[in-house]
């Protein structure tokens, strides 16, 4: 019953592991869908990376392998961010001079990160992810309360 | 690897490689535009003090036509904005490519998903509710 929706939508796949291809099938697809809708809402409202929430949904709710969660989230972000970016651009909310260093910096970092990911140990990735999401949370609380 | 399945249709791997190419080219083009525009912007405005406590929005660069016109007139801010537009449109191009690929594979379910995603993107990017 649980995996049937994932199977009907053909969501299963394989990814290259240390010793050959590893098969996976996501679980709790409706729950994942719900969390994703919340992630989109939050990122549209607050401009925070919904990527963090996406990784949580893919990893914790849908129980995908961590590296599959990471790469899938990254792959989706362009599409979901584009939907919001159009709204901001039309209203003049994007300052080119501010966007320039942000875009080039993020791009450089993500190119390095994507190469590091392939060989990285999942345990280490989880620790880094936890620290990143903690920093994100603290930063948002500070910003939200005007501390 | 021929890139074709047993039934002669495109393989998933061939599609993934094509999408990968579109993403790489789009991001490289966007980065080049933003870098060139950014350098020109810094050369022009690098010595001016900016005050980010008052957000100066880019009111003149809110439509694709205005951005393209500005970029053709070599306005640095418009060149950066054009790079950002290319960056935003890259994933849209990728969804279009996926739609065509799923149609070629006769995969009705995923053609429907791609159309839903494209519709949402269209509404977001143009502000028109179809």
Question: According to the model, what pLDDT value does residue B21 have?
Answer: 93
Chain A contact set for B78 (CB, 8 A): 96
Residue span of the structural domain in which B122 resides = 12-46+62-126
CB contact under 8 A, A97 and B80: yes
pLDDT in the model for residue A1: 46
Mean pLDDT, contiguous 10-residue spans, chain A (147 residues): 74 81 88 88 73 85 89 84 81 86 92 89 91 88 82
Q: Does B54 reside within a domain?
A: no
Query: pLDDT at position B64, please?
Result: 84
Number of domains within chain B:
1
CB contact under 8 A, A94 and B81: yes
A84 touches chain B (CB under 8 A): yes
Residue count of chain A, please give it: 147
Number of H helices, E strands in chain B: 4, 0
In a domain, B6, yes or no: no
Each of the 130 residues of chain B gets a pLDDT tens digit; together they read 457 777 778 888 888 898 899 999 999 999 999 999 999 999 888 777 766 666 665 667 888 888 999 999 999 999 999 999 999 999 999 999 999 999 998 999 999 999 999 998 888 788 776 5
**What angle, 0 to 180 degrees and rounded to 10, lies between the N-to-C axes of helices B76-104 and B108-126?**
160
Contact B36, B28 (CB under 8 A): no
Look at residue B42 and tell me if it is in a domain: yes
Calculate helix-pair angle for B76-104, A96-119, nearest 10 degrees.
Answer: 50
ipTM above 0.90, yes or no: no
Total domain count for chain A? 1
Task: Report the residue of B45, B62, B109 to disrupt the A interface, i.e. the one with the largest count of A CBs within 10 Å.
Answer: B62
Contacts of B30 in chain A (CB under 8 A): 103
- Domain membership of residue B52 (yes or no) is no
CA-to-CA dists, residue B70 to B38, B60, B74, angstroms: 14, 9, 6
Contact A94 B84 (CB under 8 A): yes
* Identity of the residue in B38, B77, B95 whose CB atom sits nearest the CB atom of A79: B95
Residues contacting residue A139 through CB under 8 Å, at least 6 positions apart: none
Tens digit of each residue's pLDDT (9 = 90 or more) over A44-63: 777 666 778 888 888 888 98
* Nearest CB to A78 within list B83, B90, B120: B90
DSSP string, chain A: -HHHHHHHTT--EEEEETTEEEEE----HHHHHHHHHHHHHHHHHH---HHHHHHHIIIIIS---HHHHHHHHHHHHHHHHHHHHHHHHHTT---HHHHHHHHHHHHHHHHHHHHHHHH--HHHHHHHHHHHHHHHHHHHHHHHTT-
pLDDT given for residue A7 in this prediction: 84
Cβ A98–B52 below 8 Å, yes or no?
A: yes
Q: Which domain holds residue A98?
A: 2-144
- For A87, the token pair is 């709204």
Test A86 with B41 for CB contact under 8 angstroms. Answer: no
Integer Cα distance of B73 and B76 in angstroms = 9
Report if residue B55 sits inside a domain.
Answer: no
Interface list for A 99-138 with B (CB within 8 A): 99-101, 103-104, 107
Is the separation of the CB atoms in B79 and B40 below 8 Å? yes
Instruction: For chain A, give the percent of residues with pLDDT over 70.
Output: 95
Structure tokens, B111: 């053609």
Cβ distance B28 to B18 under 8 Å? no
Q: What pLDDT is stored for residue A71 in this prediction?
A: 87
């Amino acid at each position: 019953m649980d995996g049937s929706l994932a199977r009907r939508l053909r969501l299963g796949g394989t990814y290259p592991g240390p010793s050959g291809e590893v098969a996976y099938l996501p679980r709790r697809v409706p729950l994942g869908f719900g969390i994703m809708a919340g992630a989109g809402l939050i990122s549209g409202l607050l401009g925070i990376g919904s990527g963090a929430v996406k990784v949580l949904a893919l990893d914790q709710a849908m129980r995908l392998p961590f590296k599959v969660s990471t790469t899938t989230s990254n792959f989706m972000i362009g599409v979901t961010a584009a939907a919001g970016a159009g709204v901001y651009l039309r209203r003049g909310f994007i300052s080119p001079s501010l966007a320039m260093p942000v875009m080039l910096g993020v791009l450089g970092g993500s190119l390095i990160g994507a190469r590091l990911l392939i060989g990285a140990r999942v345990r280490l990735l989880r620790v880094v992810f936890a620290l990143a999401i903690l920093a994100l949370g603290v930063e948002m609380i500070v910003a939200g309360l005007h501390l | 690897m021929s890139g074709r399945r047993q039934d002669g249709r495109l393989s998933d791997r061939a599609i993934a490689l094509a999408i990968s190419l579109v993403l790489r080219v789009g991001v490289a083009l966007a980065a080049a535009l933003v870098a060139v525009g950014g350098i020109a912007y810094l050369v022009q405005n690098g010595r001016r003090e900016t005050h980010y406590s008052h957000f100066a929005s880019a009111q003149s660069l809110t439509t694709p036509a205005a951005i393209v016109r500005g970029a053709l007139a070599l306005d640095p801010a418009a060149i950066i904005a054009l790079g950002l537009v290319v960056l935003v449109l890259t994933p849209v191009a990728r969804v279009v490519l996926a739609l065509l690929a799923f149609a070629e594979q006769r995969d009705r379910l995923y053609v429907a998903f791609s159309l839903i995603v494209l519709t949402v993107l269209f509404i977001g990017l143009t502000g028109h509710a179809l």
